[in-house]
A and B are shown apart, each in its own frame.
Chain A
Amino acid sequence: MMTKPRLPGLLRSASLAALAAVLLAGTPGAGATAQTVGEIRIGLLSQTPEPPPSVANPDEPAADDGLAGATLAIADNNTTGKFLKQTFLLDSVEVPPDGDAAAALRELAGRGDRFVIVDAPGATVEALSKLPEARNLLLLNANAPDDTLRGSACAANLVHVAPSRAMLADALGQYLVKKRWPRWFLVTGRRPEDKLYADAIRRTAKRFGAQIVAEKEWTAESDVNRTAESEIPVFTQAKAYDVLIVADEVGEFGDYLSYRTADPRPVAGTQGLVPTVWHRTHEQWGAAQLQSRFKAAAKRPMTARDHNDWTAVRVVGEAAARTRSADPDRLIAFIQSPDFTMSAFRGAPLSLRPWDGQLRQPVLLAADRSVVSVSPQEGFLHPRTELDSLGYDQPETLCKTRGKTTP
Chain B
Amino acid sequence: MTAARFTGISLAALIAATVATAASAQTIYVSNEKDNTLSVIDGQTMAVTDTIKVGKRPRGITLSKDGSQLFICASDDHAVQVLDLASKKIVHNLPSGEDPEQFALSPDGKHLIIANEDSNIVTVVDVPTRKVAFQVDVGVEPEGMDVSPDGRWGVNTSETTSMVHWIDMEKREVVDNTLVGPRPRYAQFTKDGSQLWVSSEIGGTVSVIDTGTRKVTKVVDFHIKGVAKDRIQPVGVKLTDDGRYAFVALGPANHVAVVDAKTFEVKDYLLVGRRVWQLALTPDQKTLYTTNGVSGDVSVIDVDGLKVTKTVKVGRYPWGVAVKG
Contact = CB atoms under 8 A, between A and B. Distances in A.
Contacts of B134: 3
Interface stretch (A216-224, A228-236, A246-254, A285-293): A285-293
A343 interface: yes
B25 to A, nearest CB: 37
Contacts of B158: 80
A333 B25 CA distance: 59
Given A289-B117, A343-B182, A385-B228, A83 B177 contact: yes
Interface residues of B, number: 43
A83 B161 contact: yes
A82 B174 CA distance: 12
B250 to A, nearest CB: 14
B132 to A, nearest CB: 4
Contacts of A27: 137, 174
Contact of B97 (A1, A84, A324): A1
B161 A79 contact: yes
Contact of A10 (B120, B163, B183): B120
B297 interface: no
A3 B161 contact: no
Contacts of B95: 1
A51 interface: no
Contacts of B159: 286, 289, 343
A285 to B, nearest CB: 8
B135 A2 contact: yes
Centre residue among B95, B141, B158 by max chain A CB count within 10 A: B141
A3 B132 contact: yes
Main secondary structure of the interface of B (DSSP, over half): loop
A340 to B, nearest CB: 10
B140 A341 contact: no
Contacts of B179: 321-322, 324
Interface in A320-375: 321-322, 324, 341-343, 347-349
A28 B174 contact: yes
B177 A30 contact: yes
A79 B140 CA distance: 6
Contacts of B163: 80, 83
Given A80-B139, A83-B165, A348 B230 contact: yes
Contact of B160 (A6, A80, A322): A80
A386 B252 CA distance: 15
Interface in B81-123: 95-99, 117-121
Interface of B: 78, 95-99, 117-121, 132, 134-135, 137, 139-141, 158-163, 165, 173-177, 179, 182-183, 201-204, 228-231, 233, 252
6 contacts: A28-B173, A28-B175, A30-B177, A83-B163, A314-B160, A321-B179
